């Protein structure tokens, strides 16, 4: 029987076809591991778990049989006993995140990314927590490194729906006050709020010596604005309507969006924050790569 190439689950439209969040998280991470290039986990083994070649005196129960099935070689798993890093995933669930021009909305994409990151972190023996917000914090799960934490996180992600309007800056300030121990803060959002208020909230985290990654989620049409016919646009949070000929405003719109991205790119760089723009048709390995690069720098 031909084996399934799990790398296809790095494609968000393929992930969307899966039945539940647990399966999505596992297959995205497994697809990512397979997609690397060095053994035993194609360059990923050091970050995911320590492995070494099986030798005399090693207990058979410590052999990674799943890895044996892939490599036909014996490796012994060695996990760190203590938590290496404490991470917080802050996911924007506001109404604007519900937008999609294709098969996957910004919220769905953010959901898949949060699930995969959580699964990955917990398999690294890192602690991970989850924050869901719209115009206020709707859920806060403090970080833990116990295996049962993934069930709690995925259960909440599986039930996420779009909320109300957004208030990113206020939420960031509140979380910066609540998070006392230093760690890694990951914001997943379309950043549709006043840039100065968002940057102020990010600065608050950096003032508290937190490390940060900002994943800026956008739909491709939000950048290209390649609508052809006379179109009525509706603000998903305020309900405001505007009818226009897209070609008349396309160039100005595109420059505005590009300037918006450039503002966050520059301001985040000034604060030593990793800013990562992502589109909902991007493979998820782009985000996982950025996280692992950050994780490696943090030791």
Burial of 7 (0-12, 13-18, 19+ CB in 10 A): middle
Give the model confidence (pLDDT) of 125-148 as tens digits: 899 999 999 999 999 999 998 889
Instruction: Please indicate whether residue 82 or residue 150 has the higher confidence score (pLDDT).
Output: 150
Question: Mean pLDDT, to the nearest integer, of 227-243?
Answer: 61
Measured in whole angstroms, the distance separating CA 102 from the mean position of its chain's CA atoms is 19
Model pLDDT, residue 217? 97
Give the model confidence (pLDDT) of 251-283 as tens digits: 777 788 889 999 999 999 999 999 999 999 999
Distances (CA, A) of 222 to 75, 168, 211, 225, 226: 47, 19, 29, 6, 9
* pLDDT level of residue 194 (50, 70, 90 thresholds): very high
Q: Is the dihedral of CA 295, 119, 106, 141 positive or negative?
A: negative
Distances (CA, A) of 49 to 40, 41, 120, 206: 10, 9, 10, 29
Does residue 116 have a pLDDT over 50? yes
The verdict on pTM exceeding 0.85 is no
CA atoms within 13 A on the CB side of 204: 19
Rounded Cα distance between 110 and 103, Å, is: 14
| Domain residue ranges of the chain, discontinuous segments joined by + | 6-78, 86-298
Contacts from 8-14 at CB under 8 Å and sequence distance 24+?
A: 10/35, 10/283, 10/284, 10/285, 11/283, 11/284, 12/103, 12/104, 12/108, 12/109, 12/112, 12/280, 12/281, 12/282, 12/283, 12/284, 13/102, 13/103, 13/104, 13/281
Topology annotation, domain 86-298: Rossmann fold (3.40.50)
* pLDDT level of residue 243 (50, 70, 90 thresholds): low
Does residue 231 have a pLDDT over 50? yes
Give the model confidence (pLDDT) of 44-77 as tens digits: 333 344 566 766 666 666 677 777 777 777 777 6
Does residue 9 have a pLDDT over 70? yes
Mean pLDDT taken over the chain = 83
Model pLDDT, residue 43? 37
| 154 C-beta neighbours (distance < 10 Å), count | 23
Instruction: Please indicate whether residue 35 or residue 202 has the higher confidence score (pLDDT).
Output: 202
Give the model confidence (pLDDT) of 200-229 as tens digits: 999 999 999 999 999 999 999 877 666 666
């Amino acid at each position: 029987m031909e084996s399934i190439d799990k790398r296809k689950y790095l494609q968000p439209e393929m992930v969307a076809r899966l039945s539940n969040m647990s399966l999505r998280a596992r297959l995205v991470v497994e697809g990512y591991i397979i997609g690397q290039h060095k053994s035993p986990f194609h360059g990923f083994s050091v970050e995911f778990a320590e492995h070494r070649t099986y030798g005399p005196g090693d207990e058979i129960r410590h052999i990674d049989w799943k890895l044996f099935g892939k490599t036909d070689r014996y490796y012994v798993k060695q996990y760190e006993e203590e938590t290496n890093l404490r991470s917080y995933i802050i996911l924007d669930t506001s109404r604007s995140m519900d937008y999609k021009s294709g098969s996957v909305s910004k919220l769905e994409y953010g959901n898949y990314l949060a699930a995969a990151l959580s699964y990955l972190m917990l398999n690294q023996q890192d602690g991970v927590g989850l924050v869901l917000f719209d115009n206020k914090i709707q859920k806060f799960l403090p970080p833990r490194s116990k295996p049962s934490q993934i069930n709690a996180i995925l259960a909440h992600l599986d039930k996420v729906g779009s909320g109300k309007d957004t208030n990113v800056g206020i939420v960031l300030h509140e979380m910066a006050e609540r998070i006392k121990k230093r760690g890694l803060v990951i914001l997943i959002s379309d950043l549709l709020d006043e840039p100065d208020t968002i940057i102020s909230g990010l600065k608050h985290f950096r003032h508290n010596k937190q490390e940060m990654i900002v994943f800026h989620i956008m739909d491709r049409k939000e950048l290209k604005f390649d609508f052809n016919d006379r179109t009525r646009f509706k603000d998903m949070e305020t309900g405001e309507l505007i009818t226009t000929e897209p070609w008349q405003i396309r160039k100005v719109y595109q420059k505005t969006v590009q300037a918006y991205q450039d503002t966050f790119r520059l301001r985040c760089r000034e604060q030593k924050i990793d800013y990562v723009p992502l589109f909902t048709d991007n493979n998820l390995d782009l985000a996982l790569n950025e996280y692992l690069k950050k994780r490696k720098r943090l030791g």
